[in-house]
């Protein structure tokens, strides 16, 4: 293929990696760069123009991480509480520049099934991740801890039909993991003639 644009986007897609927050180096991303990533998110595909993506951006990741740990603590009860998990959630963002909480605000068109709204927000998140890669940023899309628990939804004041789709940890890293695929592409495709 001769297209420079295709080669560029192909390289970005193939080099995007999940970099765990602990592997980030603590350097700050300019807010303008984060705003540019959110603009890319806003161009995700959306059925019926519902544009269901919503983002809460924390310039101070420690603020979000403290709350996340408390939501975990309140949600699991004393019998299932794990001090290590609580500590790890509190310190998840110690080396992170920004945290973005991605949510789905269910649209008002009942003909559009909820899974299409989830797919639209997931596409918006992927746009952020790819943009971050293009800007040499590290990123990690997490659904762990209490992120998908009712307490997080309550904390974010979401409606019943809305959902949290994850937390994006953004920063910079000195090293990036190698990429791999476990199943050959040929085993994932059926060509029909």
pLDDT digits (tens, 9 = 90+) for 30-84: 999 999 999 999 999 999 999 999 999 999 999 999 999 999 999 988 889 999 9
Q: What is the pLDDT of residue 125?
A: 98
Whether 2 shows a pLDDT value over 80: the answer reads no
Q: What is the DSSP string of the chain?
A: ---HHHHHHHHHHHH--B--GGGB--PPPPHHHHHHHHHHHTTS--GGG---EEEEEESSHHHHHHHHHHHHHHHH-TTT--HHHHHHHHHTTTT-SEEEEEEE---S-TTS-HHHHHHHHHHHHHHHHHHHHHTT-EEEEE--TTTTSHHHHHHTT--TT-EEEEEEEEE-BS--PPP--SS-GGGG-----
pLDDT tens-digit readout, 25-40: 999 999 999 999 999 9
- pLDDT band (50, 70, 90) for residue 11: very high
Model-level pTM?
A: 0.94
Whether 1 shows a pLDDT value over 80: the answer reads no
């Amino acid at each position: 293929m001769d297209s420079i644009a295709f080669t560029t986007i192909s390289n970005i897609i193939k080099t995007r990696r999940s970099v765990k927050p602990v592997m980030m180096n603590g350097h700050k991303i300019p807010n303008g760069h984060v705003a540019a990533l959110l603009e890319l998110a806003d161009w995700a595909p959306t059925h019926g123009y519902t544009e269901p993506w919503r983002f809460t951006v924390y310039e101070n990741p420690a603020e979000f991480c403290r709350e996340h740990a408390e939501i975990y603590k309140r949600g699991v009860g004393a019998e299932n509480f794990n001090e290590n998990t609580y500590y790890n959630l509190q310190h998840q963002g110690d080396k992170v520049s920004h945290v973005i909480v991605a949510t789905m605000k269910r649209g008002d068109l009942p003909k559009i099934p909820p899974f299409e709204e989830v797919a639209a927000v997931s596409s918006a998140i992927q746009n952020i991740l790819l943009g971050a890669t293009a800007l040499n940023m590290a990123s990690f899309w997490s659904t762990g801890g209490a992120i998908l628990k009712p307490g997080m939804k309550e904390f974010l004041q979401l409606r019943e039909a809305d959902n949290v789709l994850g937390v994006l940890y953004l920063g910079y890293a000195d090293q990036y993991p190698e990429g791999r695929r476990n199943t050959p592409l040929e085993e994932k495709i059926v060509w029909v003639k």
